[in-house]
Amino acid sequence: MNAPLGLLRQPPTVLIGRGVRRSLPAHLPHGASRAVLVTDERMAGAADFIELKTLLEQNGTSVYLIGSVQAELPAADVVEAAKSIECEPDVIVAVGGGSVIDFAKVLAVLLAHGGVPQDYYGEFAVPGPTVPVVALPTTAGTGSEATPVAVVSDTNREMKVGISSPHLIPVAALCDPELTDSAPPSLTAVSGTDALSHCIESFTAVGREPIATLPAERVFIGKSPLVDLYALEGVRAVKRSLRNAVIGDRDAATLRTARDDMAFAALAGGLALGTGGTAAAHALQYPVGALTHTPHGAGIGALLPYVMAFNRPARVPEFAQLALALGAEDTGDAESLSYQAVEAVRALLAQIGIPATLADLGVAPGMHTWIAERASTARRLVENNPRELSVDSLAAITAAAHAGDMSILDDHPY
Ligand SMILES: NC(=O)c1ccc[n+]([C@@H]2O[C@H](COP(=O)([O-])OP(=O)(O)OC[C@H]3O[C@@H](n4cnc5c(N)ncnc54)[C@H](O)[C@@H]3O)[C@@H](O)[C@H]2O)c1
Ligand SMILES: [Fe+2]
């Protein structure tokens, strides 16, 4: 057997910890004097954001503010923003959730290379470096601060679409858990679920022939030993802290520790997915999100246990490792532990209020084939799944997730 191929693609600077946001001026590219500062309406009025804007101005950096990014990121909005910017910025600073950070990434592409987002859909379509992006996440979820992808909504398409290129990786990820303290329990739950899914999907992704040209052929190369490090640590952090981060009756110190840990989990998930890539749960969430207009992490959560039940037979040792990371006792029986991984994820998501089924999420009956057909077009995700995904198998996962019935996928008595 060949030696495994390891690959990391990550921001040159990653900083995590309470208060690190205040070091923002030190992480601007050398000599940067003009910044575009991107956020959404909620954050634009928040004291934390105003403090960051002031820090930039005191640093002598002129600031052009874009303060109204919409959740789930309509592609046309980025085109409008690119047209409105008259200066040539040296840096784009994003302060927000995945929608804001992805907006900044796409804006950075348009300002550097012109055109419209559609020109860059898919993998490796961005021709060169972009305006540098510094990302400060305010949700503990997407990991976008560390990834080479931005996901946009396009009114000409039925579902969201990705721009994937190593040029999209921010030059600095400043992960300050204090920025997530204001997130309500429901947002903490859906974003934490997204982080968990990034760890699980990259840890169980396909492993490709470890040839040296692979990173030039694919932005996301699948499972690798380096991906595994981040993925497993992220799952452990989610196990330790997602419940405490969501459930509101914890004392302040517990809540704070849990939010810190979830910021770490989200970053670890971003570092894992940024090289390994995600798979079936993400492919299916795209059409589910288009149908229901529900948050990315909510759809992911309604799908993840069923995707896991489908994939489990192809990844028994990995699922056993996941079970241990999720708190199972090590019996040495990998088959039995692998089932426990599915059960542990389902139980955890139920505890934090994630919809248990696609029906609970608002998907109408009879949409299985429609969802499966669209999911099957997300090739980079479908090809990254450890079990082959046909339209039929995607429809079976969808049917199971809609009915809340694992027996459609596996006769194990879950
Ligand atoms: N690029 C990537 O690697 C990647 C990975 C996964 C998901 N995504 C994308 O990211 C987007 C979802 O991002 P998200 O889950 O971070 O949410 P989001 O950025 O869409 O924000 C959701 C809502 O939460 C609010 N919010 C954000 N931070 C808050 C805080 N600290 N306190 C209170 N409210 C806050 C926002 O104002 C918004 O109303 C989707 O478009 C998804 O497709 C991108
Ligand atoms: Fe995701």
Phi first, then psi: give them for residue 389, nearest 5 degrees.
-115, 110
Residue nearest to atom 33 of ligand 1 (CA): 183
Task: Answer for the pair 265, 195: CB distance below 8 angstroms, yes or no.
Answer: yes
Residue-wise pLDDT tens digits, 192-231: 999 999 999 999 999 998 888 999 999 999 999 999 999 9
CA distance 284 to 298: 12
Widest distance between CA atoms in the chain: 64
The predicted structure's pLDDT at residue 210: 85
For ligand 2, the distance from its centroid to the CA atom of residue 115, given in whole angstroms, is: 26
For ligand 1, the distance from its centroid to the CA atom of residue 139, given in whole angstroms, is: 6
The stretch 74-94 carries a mean pLDDT of 95
For ligand 2, the distance from its centroid to the CA atom of residue 87, given in whole angstroms, is: 33
Residue-wise pLDDT tens digits, 359-400: 999 999 999 999 999 999 999 999 999 999 999 999 999 999
Residue-wise pLDDT tens digits, 30-57: 999 999 999 999 999 999 999 999 999 9
The predicted structure's pLDDT at residue 17: 98
Asked whether residue 296 carries a pLDDT value surpassing 80, the answer given is yes
Whether the CB of 74 sits within 6 Å of ligand 1: no
Query: What is the enclosing helix (H) or strand (E) of 123?
Result: strand 122-123
Prediction pTM value:
0.97
2 — pLDDT class (breaks 50, 70, 90): low
The predicted structure's pLDDT at residue 3: 65
For ligand 1, the distance from its centroid to the CA atom of residue 98, given in whole angstroms, is: 4
The stretch 320-330 carries a mean pLDDT of 98
CA distance 384 to 205: 6
For ligand 2, the distance from its centroid to the CA atom of residue 55, given in whole angstroms, is: 31
Phi first, then psi: give them for residue 102, nearest 5 degrees.
-65, -35
Residue indicated by tokens 């241990």: 324
Residue-wise pLDDT tens digits, 63-79: 999 999 999 899 999 99
Which ligand 1 atom is nearest residue 162's CA? 1
Domains by residue range for the chain, with CATH: 13-180 (3.40.50.1970), 185-408 (1.20.1090.10)
Ligand nearest the Cα of residue 68 is 1
Task: Answer for the pair 1, 160: CB distance below 8 angstroms, yes or no.
Answer: no
Task: Answer for the pair 132, 171: CB distance below 8 angstroms, yes or no.
Answer: yes
Whether the CB of 376 sits within 6 Å of ligand 1: no
Token duo for residue 343: 């059960």
Q: Which of 10, 42, 380 is the pocket-test mutation for ligand 1 (most atoms within 8 Å of CB)?
A: 42
Asked whether residue 354 carries a pLDDT value surpassing 70, the answer given is yes
Q: Which of 139, 157, 282, 288 is the pocket-test mutation for ligand 1 (most atoms within 8 Å of CB)?
A: 139
Task: Answer for the pair 175, 260: CB distance below 8 angstroms, yes or no.
Answer: no
Question: Which amino acid, residue 196?
Answer: L
For ligand 1, the distance from its centroid to the CA atom of residue 300, given in whole angstroms, is: 14
